[in-house]
A and B are shown apart, each in its own frame.
Chain A
Amino acid sequence: MLYALFGAVESGIIYAIMALGVYLTFRVLDFPDLTVDGSFVTGAGVAAISIVNGVSPIVATLLAIAAGFLAGCVTGLLHTKGKINALLSGILMMIALYSINLRIMGRPNVSLNNQDTIFSQLREVWPVGIDEFLGGMFTAVGSRAPATWVIVFFMIIVTLGIKFLADYFLKTEVGLALRATGDNQRMIRSFSANTDNLIILGVGISNALVALAGALIAQLGGFADASMGIGMIVIGLASVIIGEALFGKRTIMITTLAVVCGAVIYRIVVTIALRVDFLDAGDMKMITAFIVMLALVAPRIMQAQKDKKRRLQKRAALEQVREGA
């Protein structure tokens, strides 16, 4: 169990990068971008095929980021210059990417077995002693020890780094204009902002992050698969919604942290759910849909209950005063 949870955190912190991308479009830009399902695979595919062809894992990952950025820019272009509805632009791009990804990979599945990845290279420089020491805590409670801790530590640094970068960016002059574009396009145009370019840039950055997550997940799992992106957008949204429901969205910094935590919590919940006897891997999408529904509905029901209780208390108090008089 502990071992499985460790795996959930490990991959969750990578998926958090994708969730940040989804947050950027859905929340900041108010642009429901469905490109994600495609660009996640683009990132995975570009990284995998580059690595297989001898490109260094770091460069391969950077290439993946660039490819995702490009895909996002095309979606942005379809919407702003082509005047296609935001949802439809994303869907069109997602469908097109399915074929493009197959072309990139040359086959539906690229294996990274026995290839260098960012993580395998990190493990080479990582002192084994740390793994043994921390793993001891797992074996002490009778659980399997994780193979390495380097991925978790490295990814926490990378993901939080991206989070802080996003926080900074969204407070710059350009970032403020980007947020205003999602908030009130007409207004920000009257303050000299080219909203078309800002939307293209925003959707581009978002998909660059999604592709980065794809590239890292491929290197973690050891393969890229043409269908590994199915339902990614819902997972991204689930992370955003769970995070916001649990930690609030008072400021940008709080919200981005909430999104990161939401992604990890989502993974943990799914992992626990899959341990239930009558559920298996095929039920994953249903579980996801259920979690999102719960995260959307539960806060509202809780608020309604709270209000009801408050009103009842007030009435009771008034009643008492009357009786006393």
Chain B
Amino acid sequence: MLHVTDVSITFNEGTPDEKKALQDINLELQEGDFVTVIGSNGAGKSTLMNVISGNLIPDIGEVVISDEKVTMLPEFKRSQFIGRVFQDPMAGTAPSMTIEENLALAYSRIRKRKLIPGVNKQRKAEFRDHLSTLKLGLEDRLNAKVGLLSGGERQALSLLMATFTNPNILLLDEHTAALDPSRAELITNLTKEVVEEYGLTTLMVTHNMQQALDLGNRLIMMDKGQIILDIRGEQKQKLTIEDLLKEFQRIRGQQFESDRAVLG
């Protein structure tokens, strides 16, 4: 479904600010995989998401989605394969437009946009059905401006907009991080539901280790632009936070040693 092969990307190459954000990343997702991604700040998680979404073009390496090579395809063309929810609740919706207009925008992700009305009776009914699955009462507020919604409501709407057109790949980048705990839980549960319902191939970045353990069938840990841990299936189900921390410590410790060796 998704193949990321030998991808590297370096920012500000040849300057003192040089940053190897991704180094030789290889990642393969099967159809229906739900992969959680953890890693410290600056590990390269968002960069990886951006390379997959087409927001960034890798220096070297390939990205293949559903057997189509998309490495050089601009973001707007690639988005017909990809549903995306950002960390910032403001980022995934158009605030000055209404809920139904936002859904109409999402509806056109996989269709050519034409000079026909974006919202009609039939679509309205469809939108209402989808919104009711969120259980937030948004189905009765189709004409409310999205800018007036709370962060949690907006993020729920973003999640719906990213998923109801059944994307080949769903990218979630810390999409619950900006919400208070109860709202975050709501969005987490919604995420679980929609991913299961549509069997979406999903890549989810999170800073919440418990969340990373609870969700999905596979977990990867990134550090300094590399994937340092890839655990799946039964092994993942048995995994605990302590295991993760220990593993993290072990690998970090090693790298600390090697850093000192370089300095020495």
Contact = CB atoms under 8 A, between A and B. Distances in A.
Contact of A179 (B76, B97, B106): B97
Interface of A is mostly: helix
Most chain-A CB neighbours within 10 Å: which of B82, B109, B113?
B113
A277 interface: no
Interface stretch (A37-45, A184-192, A263-271, A297-305): A184-192
Interface string A280-317: 00000000000000000000000000000000000000
A172 B117 contact: yes
A187 B92 contact: yes
Nearest to A188: B105
Contacts of B84: 190
A183 B96 CA distance: 7
Contacts, number: 84
A174 interface: yes
A193 B75 CA distance: 9
A169 B115 contact: yes
A231 to B, nearest CB: 29
A188 B119 CA distance: 17
Contacts of A193: 76, 105, 108, 113
Contact residues on B (Cβ < 8 Å of other chain), bracket: 20 to 34
Contact of A187 (B80, B93, B110, B118): B93
Interface string B83-122: 0101000111111110001001110111001111111000
Given A171-B119, A180-B105, A188 B94 contact: yes
B94 A173 contact: no
Interface in B45-84: 53, 75-77, 79-80, 82, 84
Interface in A74-130: none
A183 B147 CA distance: 11
Contact residues on A (Cβ < 8 Å of other chain), bracket: 20 to 34
A189 B95 CA distance: 15
Given A179-B97, A183-B95, A173 B75 contact: no
A186 B161 CA distance: 14
A186 B90 CA distance: 11
A194 interface: yes
B101 A192 contact: no
A94 B82 CA distance: 40
A320 B237 CA distance: 67
Contact of A176 (B104, B109, B161): B104
B82 A177 contact: no
Contacts of B108: 173, 176-177, 191-193
B97 A173 contact: no
Interface in A165-208: 168-169, 171-177, 179-180, 183-184, 186-195
A173 B104 contact: yes
A192 B77 contact: yes
30 contacts: A172-B115, A172-B117, A172-B118, A173-B114, A173-B118, A175-B118, A176-B97, A176-B108, A176-B118, A177-B108, A179-B94, A180-B94, A180-B105, A183-B96, A187-B91, A187-B93, A187-B94, A188-B105, A190-B53, A190-B84, A190-B92, A191-B105, A191-B106, A191-B161, A192-B76, A192-B108, A192-B109, A193-B113, A194-B76, A195-B76
Given A183-B96, A189-B76, A190-B82, A177 B119 contact: no
Contacts of B118: 171-173, 175-176
Given A180-B105, A187-B94, A191-B108, A174 B76 contact: no
A319 B208 CA distance: 51
